[in-house]
Amino acid sequence: MTGDFVRRRPLLSLLLGVLVLMLVLLLGWGWQQRVALSAFPDILSAYTAKEYCSCRYVAGQSAPYCQGYVKQYLPISDFVDDPEHKRVKASGLGRTHTASWLGVREGCRLIP
Amino acid sequence: MFKGVFLLLMLLCSCAVTAQDWPAEQWAPGPPGSGPALAALEDYAFANRDEATRKGIRTDALLVIRDGQLVYERYAGGTTADTPHLTWSVSKSLMAAVLGVAYGEGRFSLQDPVAKFLPALMPHPGICFADLLHWASGLDWQEDYEYAPLNSSVVAMLYTRGHTDMAGFTAAHPAFGAPGQYFRYSSGDSNLLSAALKNILGAQRYADYPWTALFEPLGIRSAVWERDATGTFVASSYAYMTARDLARIGLLMQRQGRWGERQLLPADWVAFNLQPFAHYQANQDAAVPGGHWWLNRPVDGAPRPWPDAPPDSFAALGHWGQALYVLPGEKLVIVRYADDRDGSYRHNELLKRVQAAFPPQVLP
């Protein structure tokens, strides 16, 4: 049955074989990297919240400066800087993270 | 009477010869540079800043100390003399200085296994303090900030899987080789040192220790050092201070760990900091690793990393162009803060131009 198909459509069979092999390899790689892959979307918002908080409330730079400072190629979908509590919330790639200023020596930290 | 005056004169002369300048609340000003050599330095360090593309050399602060006197400083891009600027990996060398004070107090020795103080390192009992200071833990760490974020251990440590307990995250890495045998630059190694110090001192004493041990004796008032959720200072990345304050660390190192009358860092500690790691192979990194400082030493017949600076030069270096350079023979300390987003900045070029702008003083 399969042999018949391969004999009748050798090129298509080869192409399908290669596709199946690539899918298996991709899934294998994904499984191997599952921890890193699941954490990957967190980088953008965590980086933005933490480094903006420190830029603004540790280094004391202006809000426009810090916006430029943390800018990445990927877009931030939501961003809230609460100057009263010195808390910075950033969302991107479907994840949200918050950083908070803790004190004059402690600076900022991601929460939790 | 005459003899008394003579002795007094002798005493005054000897004081004038041996007197050294140390910063008090502020740095004393020294003779400023001028002319084409200074212009060439400024042309390089403060080229037109491109905020749209963020390409090229983007210096935020440049400060030059000669023999304890401030001879040059200039700021740009929102940074001022009062800005506690992020030092990134310069923090590692700052932690080395903090550890040096603890070492001088006899709290640990370089060959102590770190697991003795840090239970998280029990799976790697062979790692000693010297190994971590050489970035030679043998742990399978991937140090890459921007180009391979998926597998970057440092990005995961700072922002995702590791940020609550950076030392614990590092210690959970498997080994790729025996400790002390291979150089592999690792922010994790620096945070293991920081966490070990916490357990050596106790959490309460540790929280103030960088200030009581190092910053306050040096008159550093602007320092901020961020911690992870376990209270461990992020020794790899997150110390902040003004350029003027960072220069104080440089002067301390230029003068072999001595600050005024006080030997704050033991001489053998500073000697260890400035000794190249024996198993480093030429060109593995941008400069030669010592004990948590970067050295300008020739290795394996390869030329030294910064050919236009003397071989006894050393530096603390950080991401995006942060640098504290010390040229002990020239009595120069140079602080550079920056926001370099590409690799166009060259340490050697800056060091060459600073030396040209501030040549050795000719004694009258």
The whole-angstrom separation of Cα B116 and Cα B107 is 12
Beta bridge mates, A103:
A107
What is the pLDDT, as a whole number, of residue A112? 86
The whole-angstrom separation of Cα A38 and Cα B286 is 33
What is the pLDDT, as a whole number, of residue B151? 80
Closest residue on chain B to A57 (Cα): B84
Neighbours of A23 (CB within 10 A): 10
β-pairing, B59-66 vs B332-338, is antiparallel
Is B33 contained in some domain? Answer: no
pLDDT digits (tens, 9 = 90+) for A10-27: 889 999 999 999 999 888
Contacts of B222 (CB under 8 A, 6+ apart): B82, B84, B240, B241, B242, B245
Closest residue on chain B to A42 (Cα): B160
Is B116 contained in some domain? Answer: yes
Residue A14, min C-alpha distance to chain B (Å):
32
pLDDT digits (tens, 9 = 90+) for B67-82: 999 999 999 999 999 9
Instruction: Please tell me what DSSP assigns to residue B233.
Output: B
What is the pLDDT, as a whole number, of residue B86? 98
**Contact (CB, 8 A) for B272 and B289:** no
**Contact (CB, 8 A) for B27 and B244:** yes
What is the pLDDT, as a whole number, of residue B146? 59
Is B45 contained in some domain? Answer: no
pLDDT digits (tens, 9 = 90+) for B324-333: 999 999 999 9
Q: Please, where are the H alpha helices in chain A?
A: 2-8, 10-32, 34-39, 42-57, 63-70
pLDDT digits (tens, 9 = 90+) for A27-58: 888 887 777 777 889 999 999 999 999 999 99
Percent of chain B whose pLDDT exceeds 90:
89
Task: Assign B147 a pLDDT band (cuts: 50, 70, 90).
Answer: low
Burial A89-109 (b: 16+ CB within 10 A, else e): bbbbeebbbbbbbbeeebbbb
Mean pLDDT value across residues B36-51: 95
Task: Assign B16 a pLDDT band (cuts: 50, 70, 90).
Answer: very low
Token digits for B94? 């700052």
Q: Which value does ipTM take for this structure? A: 0.93
pLDDT digits (tens, 9 = 90+) for B179-228: 999 999 999 999 999 999 999 999 999 999 999 999 999 999 999 999 99
Contacts of B66 (CB under 8 A, 6+ apart): B30, B330, B331, B332, B358, B361
Mean pLDDT value across residues B157-163: 95
Q: Is the pLDDT of residue B247 over 70?
A: yes
Which sign, positive or negative, has the C-alpha torsion B156, B158, B159, B161? positive
**Contact (CB, 8 A) for B143 and B187:** yes
Task: Assign B145 a pLDDT band (cuts: 50, 70, 90).
Answer: low
What is the pLDDT, as a whole number, of residue A34? 79
Q: Using omega within 30 degrees of 0 as the cis cutoff, is the peptide bond preceding A112 cis?
A: yes
Sheet containing B239-241, strands listed edge to edge, beginning at the edge strand earlier in sequence: B85-86, B239-241, B224-225
Mean pLDDT value across residues B229-233: 98
* CB-nearest partner of B159 from A42, A55, A59: A42
Residue B241, min C-alpha distance to chain A (Å):
9
Identity at A111, one-letter amino acid code: I
Residue of B51, B140, B147, B159 to mutate for A, most A C-beta atoms under 10 A: B159
Domain count, chain B: 1
Domain that holds residue B204: 84-311
Token digits for B298? 């020739």
Output the pTM of the full model.
0.91
Domain CATH for B173: 3.40.710.10
Mean pLDDT value across residues B304-325: 98
Is B329 contained in some domain? Answer: no
Mean pLDDT value across residues A54-71: 97
Asked if B240 is an interface residue toward chain A (Cβ–Cβ < 8 A), one would say yes
Q: Is the pLDDT of residue A1 over 80?
A: no
Q: Is the pLDDT of residue B60 over 90?
A: yes
What is the pLDDT, as a whole number, of residue A38? 79
Task: Assign B1 a pLDDT band (cuts: 50, 70, 90).
Answer: very low
- The SS3 call for residue B66 is strand
